[in-house]
C-alpha cells in the first residue's frame, strides 16, 4: 500500500478541514488559509489518536495532487487550492497557456452552455492543463465530458488567470462564448 493510500482517511479529512470546515476539529484559518501546525496536530489527534507531525509531513509529501503546503518556517499549513472558505491565497495573475480544459459531467452541459462555467461553492473555476486530467475531474461528477477553454481570447478580453502552487489553473468564470464542447464520438 502506498503512503498516500495508508493515510487516505486522514488526508481526506485534512482537505475538508483546510478547505471547507476548520471548525470540524475546532481550529481556525487565517485570512490566507493558514492553520497553525501545532494546533492542527493536537486537534487531529482527537479524531485520529496516532496522528503526528511525521504523519502530517508524509501526507503533504506524498499527496498525488500536492494539495497542501507548509509555510516557509514550517509552523503553518494550508491547502493550495479548492477552498469554499473565502481565503486569499495571494496568487499573482499569470498568462495562461493557449488553451485549458474543464472536465464536467454530461448532465451539466446544457446549463454550462447557457450560463458558462461558474465557481459554484468554490472560490474559483478550476481548469486543467490536459484532457486526461480534465477527464478525471469530470468523472468525479458523472459521465465525463470535456470543454476546451479559449484562454487566449479570454486573456485578451481582460479575464484574469491564476496558477495555484500545485499547478491548477484558476479563474473567476468562463462565459459560454469562450467554451467549446469536445465531441469524441
| Interface contacts to ligand HQG, rule CB under 6 A | 65, 67, 82, 104-105, 108, 111-112, 115, 117-118, 120-122, 126, 137, 140-141, 168
- d(C-alpha 14, C-alpha 71), whole Å: 16
Which residue is at the shortest CB distance from ligand HQG? 104
Report yes or no: 15 and 35 within 8 Å, Cβ to Cβ.
no
Q: Which is nearer to ligand HQG, 43 or 128 (CB)?
A: 128
Q: Which of 117, 19, 135 minimizes the C-alpha distance to 67?
A: 19
Q: Which is nearer to ligand HQG, 71 or 166 (CB)?
A: 166
Q: Which is nearer to ligand HQG, 92 or 120 (CB)?
A: 120
CB of 6 to ligand HQG, least distance (A): 18
Report yes or no: 154 and 171 within 8 Å, Cβ to Cβ.
yes
C-alpha angle 152-153-159 in degrees, rounded to nearest 5: 90
CB of 126 to ligand HQG, least distance (A): 4
Q: Which is nearer to ligand HQG, 26 or 142 (CB)?
A: 142
Q: Which of 158, 145, 151, 156 minimizes the C-alpha distance to 178?
A: 151
Amino acid at each position: 500500500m502506498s503512503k498516500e493510500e495508508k493515510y487516505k482517511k486522514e488526508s481526506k479529512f485534512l482537505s475538508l478541514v483546510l478547505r471547507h470546515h476548520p471548525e470540524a476539529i475546532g481550529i481556525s484559518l487565517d485570512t490566507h488559509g493558514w492553520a497553525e501546525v501545532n494546533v492542527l496536530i493536537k486537534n487531529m489527534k482527537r479524531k485520529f489518536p496516532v496522528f503526528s507531525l511525521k504523519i502530517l509531513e508524509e501526507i503533504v509529501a506524498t499527496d498525488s495532487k500536492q494539495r497542501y503546503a507548509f509555510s516557509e518556517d514550517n509552523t503553518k499549513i494550508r491547502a493550495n487550492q479548492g477552498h469554499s472558505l473565502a481565503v486569499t491565497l495571494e496568487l499573482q495573475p499569470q498568462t495562461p497557456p493557449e488553451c485549458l480544459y474543464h472536465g464536467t459531467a454530461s448532465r451539466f452541459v446544457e446549463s454550462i452552455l447557457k450560463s458558462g462555467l461558474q465557481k459554484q461553492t468554490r472560490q474559483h473555476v478550476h481548469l486543467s492543463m490536459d484532457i486526461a486530467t480534465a477527464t478525471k475531474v469530470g468523472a468525479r461528477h458523472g459521465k465525463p465530458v470535456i470543454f476546451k477553454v479559449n484562454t487566449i481570447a479570454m486573456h485578451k478580453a481582460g479575464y484574469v488567470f491564476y496558477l495555484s502552487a500545485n499547478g491548477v489553473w484558476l479563474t473567476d468564470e468562463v462565459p459560454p462564448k469562450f467554451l467549446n464542447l469536445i465531441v469524441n464520438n
